[in-house]
Structure 1
């Protein structure tokens, strides 16, 4: 239910912001607003707004499929709001390096839930590395996708071109893995056992 609530809230706020420039400006990650005006809420609310419908759809579909698969793990370890805490933590951690790098840049803005969604996706991969996932209609093992995803994100982040925040994707993925292992260290041994038994 937490996953569905996050999706519902994100969709509602995103649609409102796409039709209300002032709301978008109040929620988007704009570093000077945090550094100068202490608008710390932007470290979370940037994940509630998206650039367009396709951006929103991709993130929410991914969250729908993988969030429901891992929500029970966080509920069992942290209580009823465990997954919500994980998701909010992922939003903050995934964007912090970007904020610190651009805190003096008045021209920089970032938005979208991709960092937190990456955390959810990698938490799933850590627990089920050989599960089949669909990438652009092509099925592949989750662990293979993870390797390709990280390699691509590192490459694109170093290039520094385009409007996609690849740094947030990487930090979100790292948070998803680290937080999951912190909650239940035995997941690591399970992951390694699964890796040793490949299933294609």
Structure 2
């Protein structure tokens, strides 16, 4: 229902969010590599760097022998199934990530992003403990960024593309948009959606973002701001 376009929330502490843009660039680059692979190569790539619960639990050997099993708790976040999967995640990261990098600082933002990715993967593992399929996508890490935004800038205005009959750009408080997004994840979990979407990873990521934003924010950044 809501597709974010941009926010009205200037950065105040850094001159340029280069870590956020580097994450976007690296993720797009990995997908470009994926896109030139043959189907068997693509499968091996995803199995090797995606997060497979039974591999992380050391029940099955890792497809990539030189890669530590637990490293896929982060590497999976750079893989995507298709262009729509990639672009939707990168759009959310572009809209919300710069302000979180500003609020945390460059190094802590990078650590924060990886921690949210790992937390999302672990929550997915917890509820899919014997799953043989790989988890891929930046959604969990991006959900963490959205959780931090909800904690730090709930009153900031976000311009969203809102559609009832025709799409129209509409400025709304971030808390409204993010609350709808969280509610959607919970709804699909409750009804037991069969869509190939890692709902638990999304919720794990957003919870990690909510919790980590508090201790990792730089001094002087208040909670529940954005006015």
* TM-score of the superposed pair, with normalisation by structure 1: 0.84
* Residue in 1 that maps onto 2:178: 146
SS of the equivalent of 2:137 reads: coil
How many aligned positions are there?
189
Note if contact 1:157-1:165 (Cα within 8 Å) is conserved in structure 2: no
CA displacement, residues 31-67 of structure 1 (integer Å, 9 cap, x when unaligned): 2222223611111111000110111111112111211
**Structure 2 matches for 1:28-39, cutoff 5 A?**
28-35=50-57, 36=59, 37=61, 39=69
**In 2, Cα distance between equivalents of 1:60 and 1:72:** 18
Match of 1:99 among 121, 125, 130: 125
**In 2, Cα distance between equivalents of 1:83 and 1:190:** 17
Note if contact 2:24-2:93 (Cα within 8 Å) is conserved in structure 1: yes
Instruction: Please tell me whether residue 9 in structure 1 is matched to residue 15 in structure 2.
Output: no
Of Structure 1 and Structure 2, the greater strand share is in 2
Match of 2:158 among 133, 136, 140: 133
**In 1, Cα distance between equivalents of 2:204 and 2:123:** 8
Q: 1:187 to 1:118 in 2, by over 3 A?
A: farther
Note if contact 1:119-1:173 (Cα within 8 Å) is conserved in structure 2: yes
Q: Which moved more, 1:27-36 or 1:56-65?
A: 27-36
CA displacement, residues 96-137 of structure 1 (integer Å, 9 cap, x when unaligned): 12112223222x332110111111122122222122223334
SS of the equivalent of 1:129 reads: coil
Match of 1:25 among 12, 27, 47: 47
* Residue in 2 that maps onto 1:109: 134
**In 2, Cα distance between equivalents of 1:4 and 1:142:** 21
**In 2, Cα distance between equivalents of 1:190 and 1:49:** 32
* Residue in 2 that maps onto 1:166: 199
Note if contact 2:120-2:141 (Cα within 8 Å) is conserved in structure 1: yes
Structure with the bigger RCO (C-alpha within 8 Å, sep 6+) is: 2
**In 2, Cα distance between equivalents of 1:167 and 1:63:** 19
Match of 2:113 among 80, 84, 87: 87
Note if contact 2:50-2:72 (Cα within 8 Å) is conserved in structure 1: yes
SS of the equivalent of 2:114 reads: helix
Match of 1:122 among 147, 157, 170: 147
- State the superposition RMSD in angstroms: 2.3
**In 1, Cα distance between equivalents of 2:135 and 2:51:** 5
What stretches of structure 1 of length at least 5 have no aligned partner?
A: none
**In 2, Cα distance between equivalents of 1:186 and 1:150:** 28
Q: 1:165 to 1:134 in 2, by over 3 A?
A: farther
* TM-score of the superposed pair, with normalisation by structure 2: 0.75
